[in-house]
Structure 1
Amino acid sequence: MVNALLHHIVGTISVIVYFFNTVLWSTPIFILAVFKLIPIAPWRRFISYLLDACATAWISVNNLNQRISGRTSWQVNGLEKLTRNDWYLVIANHQSWVDILVLQRVFNRKIPFLKFFLKKELIYVPILGLAWWALDFPFMRRYSKAFLAKHPHLKGKDMETTRQACEKFRTKPVSIMNFVEGTRFTAGKHAKQGSPFAHLLKPKAGGVAFVLSAMGDHLHKLIDVTIDYPQGVPSFWDFVSGKVRNIRVNIDVMPIKDIMEHGIFSDKYFDDPHVRERFQAWLNERWQAKDNLLDSLNATQKPL
């Protein structure tokens, strides 16, 4: 009873700190976002660095909050290979919303600020759309096969639009994040898929292929992250209330050119079924290695 009450108090205080920290740093982000609307390239680049600094500071305070409120022991392998001056594609297994906090905690100030590809329509979301645009989250436009069948003249236009959106990353290092499974792991989803992996859902190659097609010549390295919760997959409340005692993170880094130059991937991915099969097979091999690693760590999927 005493422990439950203590966790409740710690979690409540922690959430309050998260809230006020978000309000604190979102204010300068929105103000700077307005200044970034001025269409002068050097000015926008300067403002972008200030915006990333604000986002990094926001995560740093969140991490301090976690250190004070949590009793978590962290085991992280592979950080020594990373710098803030490279361009990265980051992939990871996905079990909980806590994964995002884990990735931010592990990579903050180690690599450029993590960013996600977003659907182009999200730029019109009030307030958040402006913030995402200001923070240089790349917006993508995807046309369905049915749409392209009716409008064949637009074939390839979605990729060209995304490449143009990523031009800003030629002079500014970036880390693009992709959860390859497309959704969080649950026993129900695992059974429905008939996944061949014990601890993972099937990886989806399309999202990674889209990033490589749009930014392959910009990116330097692939970071493959394996997240393990030895006690079982935690909820956000478990994490902020100090119930999570151990988190293990393994980081594997490989040059993007090994993927591009060794025939694993090419720009013909979306047109050539043989390229798609080859790239999916490569991704399945990585996922099998990840599954084997989780086995060796005695990972479980039991709830807390």
Structure 2
Amino acid sequence: MSTLKGLVSVLLLVITTLAWGIPLVLLTAVKLITPGRPLRRLVVRGLSGVALNWVGCNLWWMRRWLKPQLSMELPNGLSPERWWLVISNHRCWTDIFLLFFALHRRLPMPHFFVKRQLIWVPIVGLAFWALEFPMLRRLTREQRKRHPHLARRDREATERMCRHAQERPIAIYNFVEGTRFTPAKRAAQASPYRHLLRPRAGGIAQVVSLLGDHLGGILDVTLRYANPNPTFWGFLCGREGPVTLRARRLAVPTWMAQGSYHDDPDYKERFHSWLNALWQEKDAALDSR
């Protein structure tokens, strides 16, 4: 029965994606031929409306069909009229929809740091490109040393997003571990945390530096699954089990907007210390069941 439920869920997801894919493709074509940034900004606003409605439609049927057991704790003061940086631990693709359940319409249009390979996913990849998501390469430390120009292109993609973000409020979401948590990945990188991988600071440091006073705050999200091995397929089958989402609002420390992560070693070390301390707190919270 759960497999049938999962197949129906996949069908519903495909239908909503194809339905909203039509205006997405049309507006993307208009964007390609639209001269000048001011006019393009209007097209991007229309594309954002399409994306938000796609999210809303999926949340509508998921609430009624999957009925996820999601317990949420959210801070006061969230607003779609301000800029936000959202950071979270990462367990599986389900995380994205759980964040949408909690924050859809409470925050402005979401922008994710996404892997460059996702550009080839039909409709979804086109949406990432049209909505100006930063498309990044997943590079190891050794690859960054051997190919610094690739790392520079990632930074340039983030700079473009932040420059365009100053035109309208957005919420920038970042799974700072860089990939989904598994015990094997934790062992491979010798993570000092029991439930988390090592966090990567570069992306969020760049966002804070570029957006500065625009940010209404940093939203620190902790996702806890009762199922030790959650999967998106299990979620679509309605058998994921209880999930707890706790979000807390952090003020942006003054020093964060006053340095350069890539040029100032002292600033870089301070940012790493701040993020590692945050991750220690998150790991302790996940440990206290």
If the length of structure 1 is used for normalisation, what is the TM-score? 0.82
8 Å contact from structure 2 (residues 17, 54) kept in 1: yes
d(CA) in 1 for partners of 2:154, 2:79: 31
Determine which of 14, 23, 26 is the counterpart of 2:9. Answer: 14
Instruction: Give, in angstroms, the shift of residue 223 of structure 1.
Output: 0.9
8 Å contact from structure 2 (residues 75, 248) kept in 1: no
Superposed, which structure 2 residues align to 1:37-52 within 5 Å? 37=32, 38-52=34-48
Instruction: Give, in angstroms, the shift of residue 16 of structure 1.
Output: 0.4
* Structure 2: tracts of 5 or more residues without a match: none
Distance 1:265 1:195, change over 3 A: farther
Instruction: Give, in angstroms, the shift of residue 32 of structure 1.
Output: 0.6
8 Å contact from structure 1 (residues 163, 215) kept in 2: no
Superposed, which structure 2 residues align to 1:1-304 within 5 Å? 6-37=1-32, 38-118=34-114, 130-138=126-134, 144-146=144-146, 159=155, 162-256=158-252, 258=253, 261=254, 263-264=255-256, 266-296=258-288, 298=289
Distance 1:103 1:234, change over 3 A: same
The 3-state SS of whatever aligns with 2:24 is helix
The 3-state SS of whatever aligns with 1:81 is coil
Distance 1:56 1:284, change over 3 A: same
- Once the two structures are superposed, what CA deviation does each residue of 1:224-281 show, in whole Å capped at 9, x if it has no partner? 110011233321111011102311100011222x2xx1x3564332122222221111
d(CA) in 2 for partners of 1:252, 1:287: 13
d(CA) in 1 for partners of 2:42, 2:152: 32
Distance 1:75 1:56, change over 3 A: same
Provide the identity percentage. 39
- Once the two structures are superposed, what CA deviation does each residue of 1:30-74 show, in whole Å capped at 9, x if it has no partner? 101111220233322222222111111111111122112223222
Give the AA of the match of 2:182: T
The 3-state SS of whatever aligns with 2:203 is helix
The 3-state SS of whatever aligns with 2:220 is strand
Name which of structure 1's ranges 245-254 and 109-118 shifts more when overlaid on structure 2: 109-118
Q: CA RMSD in A?
A: 2.9
Distance 1:199 1:102, change over 3 A: same
**Paired residues, number:** 284
* Structure 1: tracts of 5 or more residues without a match: 1-5, 299-304
d(CA) in 2 for partners of 1:242, 1:77: 22
8 Å contact from structure 1 (residues 98, 239) kept in 2: yes
Give the AA of the match of 1:19: V
Instruction: Give, in angstroms, the shift of residue 17 of structure 1.
Output: 0.5
Distance 1:175 1:146, change over 3 A: same
